[in-house]
Amino acid sequence: MSADCHTCELIERRDRGEAPPWDAIHRTDHWDVVHAFGTSVEGWTVLVLRRHLDALAELTADEAAEMGRLTRLVSIALTETLGCVKTYIAQFAEAANHGHVHVHVIPRQADQPSEWKGPGIFVHALGVAADDEVPEARRDEIAVAVGSALET
């Protein structure tokens, strides 16, 4: 764990069993699956590596294999629970205090505004004002549904 990494702090909270449902959808040996905060997109999911790394090139073969499997399974779960037409997958890990490897799995709805398609999703739907954020109760509801889909 890295002392100045907020992502590591959130992992420690999950380890203690103190995370709300939206921040504890599913855990594997190497990854945590959570709903993003600060987004206006319902179901914006993040796969968080459970150990601190700064780059994908540093993943072990097991971590990389599990990441590939999870991106597919989360995409299927989002399609089943939210009816999205596809998912976007991205990994940057460049935000302040979030340099920790994490992978975004973002549902793309059929009626999504054109400016939100492709990389525009990051500009328009992440880091939004609190009034535009998916409410915590809705994130929890989605988390339970996605978690249930991942278990089956």
Q: CA distances (Å), 73 to each of 7, 10, 57, in order?
A: 22, 23, 22
The whole-angstrom separation of Cα 94 and Cα 19 is 23
Q: Where are the domains of the chain?
A: 6-151
Tell me what pLDDT residue 96 has: 76
Architecture (CATH level 2) of domain 6-151 = 2-Layer Sandwich (3.30)
Q: Is 96 exposed, middle or buried (0-12, 13-18, 19+ CB in 10 A)?
A: exposed
| pLDDT tens sequence across 36-78 | 999 999 999 999 999 999 999 999 999 999 999 999 999 999 9
Counting as low any pLDDT under 50, the low residues of the chain are none
